[in-house]
Amino acid sequence: MSLDIVILAAGQGTRMRSSLPKVLHPIAGKPMLAHVIDAARALQPNSIQVVIGHGAKQVTQQLAADDVTFVMQTEQLGTGHAVAQAIPNLNADTLLVLYGDVPLIHPSTLSRLLQGVTENTMGLLTVNLSDPAGYGRIVRDNQQQVTAIVEHKDATPEQLTICEGNTGILAASRQHMVQWLGRLSNHNAQAEYYLTDIIAMAVADGVAIHTETATEPMEVQGANDRQQLASLERFYQFQQANVLMAQGVTLLDPARLDIRGTVKVGRDITIDINVILEGNVEIEDNVSIGANCVIKNSILRSGAIIKANCHIEGSEVGPEADCGPFARLRPGTKLEKNAHVGNFVELKNTHLGVAAKVGHLTYLGDSEIGARTNIGAGTITCNYDGANKHRTVMGEDVFIGSNSSIVAPITLGDAATTGAGSTITQDVPAHTLAIGRSKQRNIANWARPQKKS
């Protein structure tokens, strides 16, 4: 059975009170619509059609992809009208309708729904709610067969007591969908063409309604305002935290972890509170991550220790290496085994060798640091001349005195040493002490400058 998927994403989202289109508001750092597109991709359809309207330019700029076709809905006349805009692009046997503001829908749920769709059976995803306010109600007959969906605003007092709600997600043959969409009317409270009206048409045409019920209501929850968006975010993060704990990760407080990407983990990992994991993160066995750390697109090798308040991006922390507290590793940085980066140290595009140490208050940019080299406090590599970046190379067992300025491009040989407070502008041979200081003068009876009144 071939499949086309239509995702409705044309709404303005006025209750968000934002200039950003509703479907671009993020869950776990990714637009809601991107989550839905990912779920659609997992079903391997013939095509993914995204119906856009408000903020169309922003949506297409952010989410353009080879396997996504954008369809413009110039007037927002209801969900039925929106689906109709995509019909000319569809050729598959079956059509599945999803929503760009329902980001947590799971491919396995959609697969179950599609299994019940045939030429004479359509699929409808429902949800049981203790408070279904705002949802269209699923109306069934005495044999529990679906006969219609009634929108909340059009429901009678008796129908409002029904707790089975319509998620809006449905699937049917393309042939039937074309016929039903052409027969829709806008004679209702909102003067819109409701996609849900096709249910009654299907019943009238003798097409059976196969229903699947979402096992978790949050999976089919839409986000119409900031409160609902926040609820979806917390639920998503709760799910991600449970996955990590099932894989052998200790979370000191599962409610205070944010995952905004994909995380691959080993065993016996400990993560303290308020940690953010972004992009693609790999954490091997026996890693410890302290509080308030941000780890983005990075690898933490076995036994690495990340102390509190570190920011690590595009970097690799080697086995048994440690960082922080308050260390920053910028893209292109790699720490080898047992390397040490202390507090208020920033590394950018730097390779720190085995057991090398950068204790505190230091900046190393575009640098190659050899094994067991020790960098004193207050050291900086002057890697930028105002136009171009230059590289600093230090051999093994180098010792850099405190408050040294190493002006690149420059090479320091094995076991070279710089005196504290030096500005080093020339290569230093191996086993050599380099001192670059101006002569000190003491000026007696010198008057300090005074503040002007």
How far apart (Å, rounded) are the C-alpha atoms in residues 252 and 235?
A: 18
pLDDT at 356 over 90: yes
Contact (CB, 8 A) for 104 and 223 = no
Separation of alpha carbons 287 and 270, rounded Å:
7
Contact 330, 349 (CB under 8 A): yes
Catalytic positions, please?
360
> DSSP assignment, residue 118?
B
Instruction: Kindly provide the residue ranges of all beta strands, DSSP E only, lying in 100-163, ordered along the sequence.
Output: 121-128, 137-140, 146-150
The pLDDT value given to residue 190: 80
Mean local confidence (pLDDT), 281-292: 98
pLDDT at 12: 85
CATH number at residue 389: 2.160.10.10
State the average pLDDT over residues 244-261: 97
According to the model, what pLDDT value does residue 322 have?
98
pLDDT in tens, 83-98: 999 999 999 999 999 9
Residue 139 lies in a domain: yes
Q: Residues at the annotated binding site for UDP-N-acetyl-alpha-D-glucosamine?
A: 8-11, 22, 73, 78-79, 99-101, 136, 151, 166, 224, 330, 348, 363, 374
The dihedral built from the CA positions of residue 207, 208, 212 and 213, taken in this order, carries a sign that is positive
Other beta carbons within 10 angstroms of residue 58's beta carbon come to 16
Whether 232 and 377 share a structural domain: yes
Distance CA 91, CA 75 (A): 24
DSSP letter (8 states) at residue 268: S
- The answer, yes or no, to whether residue 288 has pLDDT greater than 90, is yes
- Tell me 8's DSSP state: E
Do 137 and 252 fall into the same domain?
no
Q: What is the DSSP letter of 202?
A: H
pLDDT band at residue 448 using 50, 70 and 90 as cut-offs:
confident
User: Angle, nearest 10°, between helix axes 32-41 and 56-63?
Assistant: 50
> Are 414 and 428 spatial neighbours (Cβ–Cβ below 8 Å)?
no
Residue 266 lies in a domain: yes
Q: What is the mean pLDDT of residues 371-396?
A: 96
pLDDT exceeds cutoff 90 at 13 = no
Report the C-alpha gap between 429 and 315 in whole angstroms: 30
Q: What residue has token string 């007696």?
A: 444
CA R_g for the chain:
30
In a domain, 440, yes or no: no
Closest CA to 394 of 371, 360, 425: 371
Alpha-carbon span 294 to 278, nearest angstrom: 8
**Residue 189 confidence (pLDDT):** 74
pLDDT for the residue 338: 98
Instruction: Tell whether 231 and 213 lie within a shared domain.
Output: no
Which domain-ending residue is among 187, 220, 253? 220
| Spatial separation of the C-alpha atoms in residues 175 and 199, rounded to whole Å | 15
For residue 45, the model assigns a pLDDT of 97
Reported as a single tens digit per residue, the pLDDT across 17-52 is: 999 999 999 999 999 999 999 999 999 999 999 999
Contact (Cβ atoms closer than 8 angstroms) between residue 185 and residue 80: no
Taking the CA atoms of 111, 193, 67 and 121 in sequence, report the sign of the dihedral they define.
positive
For residue 110, the model assigns a pLDDT of 97
For tokens 């900086």, what's the residue? 380
54 and 158 share one domain = yes
What's the mean pLDDT when you consider all of the chain?
Answer: 95
According to the model, what pLDDT value does residue 68 have? 96
Omega within 30 of 0 (cis) for the link into 45: no
CA gap 49, 69 in Å, rounded: 5
Residue 452 maps to a domain: no
Assess whether 78 and 125 both reside in one domain. yes
Chain Cα centroid distance, residue 147: 40
The reported pLDDT for the residue numbered 339 is 98
pLDDT of residue 153: 85
- Binding residues for Mg(2+) are 101, 224
pLDDT level of residue 333 (50, 70, 90 thresholds): very high
Residues 283 and 335 reside in one and the same domain: yes
Residue where the block lists tokens 């710089």: 418
- The dihedral through the CA atoms of 47, 51, 57, 62 has a sign that is negative
Residues 164, 141 within the same domain: yes
The count of domains in the chain is 2
- Quote the CA–CA distance of 376 and 389 in Å, as a whole number: 23
Task: Answer whether residue 443 is part of any domain.
Answer: no
294 within some domain = yes
Mean pLDDT is lowest, of 50-59, 134-143, 237-246, 323-332, for 134-143
CATH of the domain at 12: 3.90.550.10
The answer to whether 295 touches 277, Cβ cutoff 8 Å, is yes
Q: Is the pLDDT of residue 436 over 80?
A: yes
User: Taking the alpha carbons of 180, 181, 183, 188 in that order, is the dihedral positive or negative?
Assistant: positive
318 by DSSP, 3-state: which?
Answer: coil
Query: In terms of domains, do 194 and 230 share one?
Result: no
Single residue among 220, 250, 274 that ends a domain in this structure: 220
Give me the mean pLDDT over the 301-328 stretch.
98
* Domain of residue 206, residue span: 3-220
- The two tokens of residue 271 are 């993560």
Q: Could you list the residues known to form a binding site, using ranges.
A: 8-11, 22, 73, 78-79, 99-101, 136, 151, 166, 224, 330, 348, 363, 374, 377, 383-384, 402, 420, 437
CA distance 269 to 161: 48
Residue 450 lies in a domain: no
Residue 187: the pLDDT is 84
Domain boundary among 188, 220, 252: 220
CA distance 232 to 216: 12
User: Does 188 score more than 80 pLDDT?
Assistant: no
211 and 314 part of one domain: no
Same domain, 246 and 304: yes
In a domain, 447, yes or no: no
**Residue range 105-121: average pLDDT?**
94
Predicted confidence at residue 19, as pLDDT, reads 92
Residue 149 has pLDDT above 90, yes or no: no
What pLDDT does 196 receive? Answer: 86
Q: How confident is the model at residue 311 (pLDDT cuts 50, 70, 90)?
A: very high
357 and 284 in a single domain? The answer is yes
Assess whether 197 and 343 both reside in one domain: no
Measured from the Cβ of residue 285, the count of other Cβ atoms closer than 10 Å reads 14
